[in-house]
A and B are shown apart, each in its own frame.
Chain A
Amino acid sequence: MYDSGKILAGIIIFILLITFPFWLNSIQGEYKGEPELVIDRSNGAQCVKSTDYMRNSHMTLLNEWRDEVVRNDNRFYTISSGERIEMSLSNTCMSCHANKEEFCDRCHDYSGVKPYCWDCHIEQKKLETN
């Protein structure tokens, strides 16, 4: 092979460049594995759906709630235990999952999504401490 030194050097530089995000993260130690959620169950309240469903599809549920409330003026939702709850992100969800930084942001930051819920909706806890 002609110019094997140059070619091999080129290949190595190329591989280093395209794997840049991976080794940079491992050197910096930013990656700490999947985030763990701390959920306070002390008040005994039950979530509106199973943890699995909520983890995968909470955004779908929130969109459905939004359309029901705003479009159809239907404000209550019956959960599996038969309890009727108000369909509201800031009044219902965040009455238990009150800490946005620990509950919402942790996963959203990890998966790199930036929902704009809180541009308008109000984070209850923040308001209380202010």
Chain B
Amino acid sequence: MNSSRRKFLKLAGMAALGITAGKYEKIFGLTGYSNTQHSQSVSKLRAMVIDIRKCLVEKGCTACISSCNKTHNVPNIDNTKHEIKWIWKEDYENVFLEKENHFLNEDFKHSEILILCNHCDNPPCVKVCPTKATWKREDGIVMMDWHRCIGCRYCMAACPYGSRSFNWISPRPFIENITKNFPTRTKGVVEKCTFCDERLARNQLPACVEACPQKCLLFGDLNDSKSEVRQVLANNFSIRRKPSLGTNPKIYYIV
């Protein structure tokens, strides 16, 4: 009797171990960062390079911003609590918070740097979305399905760059000239830059890249070593926003 109970317990233990063994790797093998996308060079890896040196020459230029707003029916709301931003400018010291270099030129501290969604390789917004309304595409674009968004704003809390905006009020009355081949959003939905996925599908460059008169925005494929972005990154010193967070942004700034 005793020996059979002992045998039974042993067997049960072994069985439990066998069943859970498959999950072991999933639980303990979490690195938080997947490298698989880089090794598969079949897929593109979309990225943008912003040449701040050129961008700062034309102070007050908003060609890229207005082009984006026009293309995507981004409303112009004056109340900062309700405003919607896809691509905009912010003071240097607010954009690059991990500044280790003191005694910067005062002018530079307050120079306006262009920012937009970083399309992180490890996007925290995607992890927290409860409805899979936001996800990372194979080509690295952090996409949004506005049909699916329930407006919980977890993604806004998770994004360390403030790249997402919430429609507290209906945006339609605040769009001066509606572009008819692109939808507007509705009250209760989060929105952000999607790297112009609709234009990329038609083999066009993103609207901001196309609009820049100084050509300081470059867009391309990081997986292609001959691409313009890779060439520029290889030949210039570049920085990214909050690299220590491990989100691995795909917007590079040449300083």
Interface size on A, residues (CB 8 A): 14
**Which residues of chain A come closer than 8 Å to B186, judged between CB atoms?**
116, 119-120
Asked whether, in the complex, the Cβ of A73 is within 8 Å of the Cβ of B185, the reply is no
Asked whether, in the complex, the Cβ of A120 is within 8 Å of the Cβ of B184, the reply is yes
Which residue on chain B has the smallest CB distance to residue A122? B180
Asked whether, in the complex, the Cβ of B147 is within 8 Å of the Cβ of A70, the reply is yes
Most buried by B among A71, A90, A91, A119: A119
Interface size class of B (residues with CB under 8 A): 10 to 19
Asked whether, in the complex, the Cβ of B201 is within 8 Å of the Cβ of A121, the reply is no
Asked whether, in the complex, the Cβ of A124 is within 8 Å of the Cβ of B197, the reply is no
State whether the Cβ of A100 lies closer than 8 Å to any Cβ in chain B: no
Asked whether, in the complex, the Cβ of B197 is within 8 Å of the Cβ of A73, the reply is yes
Q: Is the interface of A mostly helix, strand, loop or mixed?
A: helix
Alpha-carbon separation in the docked complex, A75 to B203 (Å): 12
**Which residues of chain A come closer than 8 Å to B143, judged between CB atoms?**
70
Asked whether, in the complex, the Cβ of B180 is within 8 Å of the Cβ of A90, the reply is yes
- Given A75-B201, A127-B178, are A70 and B183 also a contact pair (CB < 8 Å)? no
Contact flags A32-76 to B (C-beta < 8 A → 1, else 0)? 000000000000000000000000000000000010001101010
**Which residues of chain B come closer than 8 Å to A66, judged between CB atoms?**
147
CB distance from A59 to the nearest CB of B (A): 13
**Which residues of chain A come closer than 8 Å to B178, judged between CB atoms?**
122, 127
**Which residues of chain A come closer than 8 Å to B147, judged between CB atoms?**
66, 70
Alpha-carbon separation in the docked complex, A122 to B175 (Å): 13
Interface residues of B (CB under 8 A from A): 137, 143, 145-147, 178, 180-181, 183-186, 197, 201
